Chain A
Amino acid sequence: MQKINRNVVLALLSLTSLVFLLFQLCYYKFYLSQKNGAAFSKVRGSQSGQDSTRWHVVRKFLGLISSHNIPVYLIDPLILGLVGKDIEQIRSSPDGPSPECKYFCAPRDFTTFALLDKTWKHDVGLFRAAEKMGFQWLKIINKDPRLDGMDDLSGMEIPLHYIFKLASHAIHLVVFYERSGNFLWHGPLRLKQHMDRKFVPFRKLHFGRYPGAYEKPELLLVSIDDLKVQIPKNPSIFLEEMSHSRFLECRYREARAFFQLYPDDASLDAVEFRKKAKSLLHLAALTLNNLGVTFWLSSGTCLGWYRQCNVIPHSKDVDLGIFIRDYKADIIPAFQKAGLPLKHKFGKVEDSLELSFQGEDDVKLDIFFFYEENDHMWNGGTQAKSGKKFKYLFPKFTLCWTEFVELKVHVPCETLQYVEANYGPEWKVPVKTWDWKSSPFNVQDNGVWPIDEWDNVIQIY
């Protein structure tokens, strides 16, 4: 009896485990293959030969837009990734027929194209023609951020994304706008209430989770898979740019509220200072960008951007942050060449480095180098007369793009934490008297430089 029981139990358990295993397999097939579509269905694709539906949809779409004279270019990360590997070959044989459908048949749910807003006329005819060809389309519009910073202007809403769907494939057309600061911007994709949430699996789109900022791309007309299409001249650089393209809009509404509470300083001095700070920032950005050094707005300049979308007129200097890993010895000569002599240099590359350059008149450019620890970042300060060291702690942050005084610059994405760390919870209240050694919320004493190092770590010009 006991023996039979045991056997039965064993058999039952084996059965259940088998059932579960089968279930698991199914689960993988239906859920996971959906999630990692690329990796999994690639295998399937190669088994069933080429999936030409996607290619056909893309071909139809390209036909549609070229018949309306709309210049689009390919920004699909999957395809550009594939193209990037073969770029030399593609460049060298722009017209050659391709033996197999290598790129546009690659498994995916979308093909993403970009459109420069100013190059087309918002022609309604396009959509009628698209419908005639069997496309279903969706337009996502929203407020124009270029007018958002302005008091009480209400422009027409602008199209940010279009999605054209045909059969099982969809084309995602991202509309790029030119912004002050000589860069391109695309908006976030946000569905309004009445919109069809199931139109396409939105969360799989490569563009639209956040707004993005890009350089104006150089384009290249290529023929891939027998389709003529424009692509960014260097796909891998584009993909690299895409991976950290997230853009933050300035908080214009909050800035307006701030100016309601604390009216802006419109004195001649303030106007002059802002003008100088702006040109200094432009010069600094040009210099650092030429060196390929990533920098961001820090301290007072960052606070000005975050709180009032402008330079704080009583701040008297421009502050930038740079990760110490991006430090280059060329930085100082490059600034000097640009007409900004070194004013002082505190610390050393290994510890608490800080550079100060003398701009026009009394405006100073401070560059703080940030050191990364396991759970925080910090930059250092040095008091020249006593050799005292200070440390300013920040929670870890990543970098986002923003537009500031007609410039595309980085700011910490986690700006609020950054500003709060630096200025405390009362950062919204303007403070005119500021002592860099005691006022910051995150300042810590960090000992004293050994006297024998002073010549090196305290350099004043």
Chain B
Amino acid sequence: MEEWKPNPAVKPHKKRSWYLAWKYKLMNQRALRKLCQTGAVLFLLVTVIVNIKLILDTRRAAYEEEEESAQDYDDEMLNVEVPRHPVNNKKVLDVEVYSSRSKVYVAVDGTTVLEDEAREQGRGIHVIVLNQATGHVMAKRVFDTYSPHEDEAMVLFLNMVARGRILIFTIKDEGSFHLKETAKNVLKSLGSQVAPFLSWRDMWTFVGKKGGEVYGEKHAKSPALSTWGDPVLLKTEVHLTSVEDAECHWPDTELNRRRKRFCSKVEGYGSVCSCKDPTPIEFNPDPLKDNKVFDVPVAVIAGNRPNYLYRMLRSLLSAQGVNPQMITVFIDGYYEEPMDVVELFGLSGIQHTPISIKNARVSQHYKASLTATFNLFPDAKFAVVLEEDLDISVDFFSFLSQSIHLLEEDDSLYCISAWNDQGYEHTAEDPSLLYRVETMPGLGWVLRKSLYKDELEPKWPTPEKLWDWDMWMRMPEQRKGRECIIPDISRSYHFGIVGLNMNGYFHEAYFKKHKFNTVPNVQLKNVESLRKDNYETEIHRLLGEAEVLDHSKNPCEDSFVPDTEGKVYVMFIRMEQEADFTTWTQLAKCLHIWDLDVRGNHKGLWRLFRKKNHFLVVGVPASPYSSKKPSSVTPIYMQPPAKEEGAVAVPAVAAAEQT
């Protein structure tokens, strides 16, 4: 550019006079003059051309850059947002409800919102809750009121539904056998005229507003015990109200915004959506002093049991020392409602496309969740693994904070678990006491990253293997003789009644009476004694101190243990080799503790409490502690019942503990 500088300084007319002077001066040197003129013309032409070129070049360069950068920053994937459905301004909904022996369905404005014609499934009363302003389905439940206690669950649910919501009921197959008076009265109070007289195999449909008008009811009586009532089809219209009427007017805060979003979508969570005095969704429990698990990620493994997840997260977020930022909820499947629950509490949730079926599906979900947890928290050395059907003790994190260093330092440990398989109301006593056990209890436990990354993840059962992940983890190939640390009184409580391997009867028999710690800030006793070698010293000390019980008595009887408190007793049972649990299983049965497989043992020794006394059971001669048996004592032998049906039942239900 420099060479053009002289030019602009000179104005055209000036240039001309300068040119003229120059012309006169060179008048006589025509040749030279001509040359100069031609030179000037050429120079000017070149200037023009160069200028044009420059402009074109910069233009193009600028344009290209624009293009390029625009591409650079464009998302390669066209994330076209799906337009939302236009707001339905219709004031009236057409509702169709069908009830019959083998099929039920509900259609709202022509859209089927419920259809169930599967065989041997979905028996009982189906309930659907609609938003009275939008007509959206807010909850869908089925209560098998043919079976006991389901009517109580239904009453609980109906009580939780906010006033003004639209309720739709329909019966599939049978819904009256265990429909008790209380439930019938609740249905009556909703405006049903038929409910109090519902009987065996009647068909029934009902649509009404909670605390308001009845939109329709139809009923078909069963003519005889062996036959069902005729199918009934109810068609009716429901008048919608305005959105303002359907919503609560909570103060406008971030929390309430979350609450509002949640409450306008789903129903059946009771006071969290109450307009007056809603229950809090943020808990701010006391922080823990010197919390060693504050930075440990917590993976909550969930399926499609949003009510369970709601209860679980409430208890988890209320536990002292919880760090909500470390919690991730892994949902097996693309279910909306569990995700709504996760968002209500402001946590992060991840959905997982189900792989495989049944137990293998759960197992694959576990693997994906654990891998994702360690990916998301690459610094973590451990992960806490929880399930959606657990209550979490208030001192759960305190318990882990006091014991986690053991898992870090003691290679002979496999896990720390919050659950004591044998910790029932009548067999657990001391919240500060810990055990070492050879079985992995699960149900709220801590996994070491190195164990997962180096050992478990690479050989995790593949989807086609229909294995339970926890049974697999308990196999000797995986456990390699390592043990888990558990508390005497569990820091988690398994409340799930519905589940893959779970039903009401099973739950009542094995889980309902489990002891659960509710004392905050329990100081654990002598944690160092849980190290591998220290523990042996501790056991020997205990056995040395223990009083040998009278082996002539029946160990199942209460009188077997004297009416004392705080003493240590020991009994010896027959155990021919390491895997001989014949007598133990019978003893476990009569003590009403876990007897479906062997749990809670440590080298042929079981520790529990009876009548507030520490009660040790040693298997002789397989246990190394057999030497403590006085020679005068004959180990007790208990014979399994003659009918060997137990043996068949065990494999089927052994897995049931994890759901």
Interface hits, A24-44 → B, CB 8 Å: 24, 27, 31-32, 35
Least distance between B282 CB and chain A CB atoms (Å) = 12
| Complex-state Cα separation, A15 to B325, whole angstroms | 71
A209 CB-CB contact with B under 8 Å: yes
Contact assessment for B70 and A197 in the assembled complex, using a CB-CB cutoff below 8 Å: yes
Contact B12 A18 (CB under 8 A): yes
The minimal Cβ–Cβ distance linking A193 to chain B, given in whole angstroms, is 6
Q: Of residues 34 to 74 in B, which have CB atoms within 8 Å of A's CB atoms?
A: 37, 40-41, 44-45, 47-48, 51-52, 54-55, 58, 62, 65-66, 69-70, 72-74
- A interface bracket (residues with beta carbon within 8 Å of B): 35 or more
On whether the beta carbons of A17 and B44 are closer than 8 Å, the reply is: yes
Seen from chain B, the residues whose Cβ lies within 8 Å of a Cβ on chain A are 1, 4, 7-8, 12, 15-16, 19, 37, 40-41, 44-45, 47-48, 51-52, 54-55, 58, 62, 65-66, 69-70, 72-76, 78-81, 254, 325, 334, 348-353, 355, 368, 371-372, 374-379, 453-454, 458-459, 462
Q: Sorted from nearest, which 8 A-B pairs have the closest CB atoms?
A: A203-B69, A152-B353, A20-B51, A13-B44, A190-B75, A180-B378, A155-B350, A271-B458
B351 contact set on A, CB distance < 8 A: 153-155
Question: Which A positions have Cβ atoms within 8 angstroms of B?
Answer: 6-7, 9-11, 13-18, 20-24, 27, 31-32, 35, 118, 121, 124-125, 142, 144, 146-147, 149-156, 178-182, 189-194, 197, 202-203, 208-209, 266, 268, 271, 274-275, 406
List, in ascending order, chain B residues with CB within 8 A of A274's CB. 458
Q: In the bound complex, do residue A10 and residue B40 qualify as a contact, i.e. CB atoms below 8 Å apart?
A: yes
Q: CA of A25 to CA of B78 in the docked complex: distance in angstroms?
A: 41
With a CB–CB cut-off of 8 A, which chain A residues contact B19?
A: 7, 10
Contact A14 B8 (CB under 8 A): no
- Per the bound structure, the CA–CA distance linking A146 and B16 in Å amounts to 74
A13 to B40, CA, bound (A): 10
A13-B44, A191-B75, A192-B79 as given contacts; A22 in contact with B8, CB under 8 Å? yes
Q: From A14, A15, A23, A125, give the contact of B51 (CB < 8 A).
A: A23
For the complex, give the distance between the alpha carbons of A197 and B454 in Å. 46
In the bound complex, residues from chain A placing their C-beta under 8 Å from that of B52 are 20
> Can you give 17 A-B contacts (C-beta < 8 A)?
A14-B7, A17-B48, A20-B52, A24-B1, A31-B62, A35-B62, A125-B254, A153-B350, A153-B352, A155-B350, A155-B351, A180-B375, A182-B378, A190-B73, A190-B74, A203-B66, A266-B459
Smallest beta-carbon distance B45→chain A, Å? 7
By beta carbon, the residue of chain B nearest A3 is B23
- A residues in contact with B325, CB < 8 Å: 118, 121
The answer to whether A20 touches B48, judged by C-beta atoms less than 8 angstroms apart, is: yes
Contact of A193 among B65, B73, B78, B372 (CB under 8 A): B78
Known: A155-B350, A271-B459. A13 touches B73 (CB 8 A): no
A192 cross-chain contacts in B, Cβ below 8 A: 75, 79
| A315 CA to B365 CA, complexed, in Å | 30
Contact A15 B8 (CB under 8 A): no
B residues less than 8 Å from A154 (CB atoms): 334, 350-353
CB–CB B69/A9 < 8 A: no
Given contacts A150-B371, A153-B372, contact A21 B58 (CB under 8 A): no
**B368 & A153 in contact (Cβ 8 Å cutoff):** yes
Further contacts, 11 of them, CB under 8 A, given A16-B48, A197-B70: A10-B44, A17-B51, A20-B51, A151-B368, A155-B348, A155-B349, A191-B75, A192-B75, A209-B73, A275-B454, A406-B453
CB neighbours of A150 from chain B (8 A): 368, 371-372, 375
Assuming A11-B16, A13-B41, A153-B350, is B254 touching A124 (CB within 8 A)? Answer: yes
Q: Can you name the residue of chain B whose Cβ is closest to the Cβ of A191?
A: B73
Smallest CB gap from A20: residue in B: B51
B37: chain A residues at CB < 8 Å are 6, 10
Kindly state the separation between the CA atoms of A142 and B349 in the bound complex, as whole angstroms: 16
In the complex with contacts A31-B58, A271-B459, A17-B375 CB distance below 8 A: no
Please state if A17 and B47 are interface contacts (CB–CB under 8 Å). yes
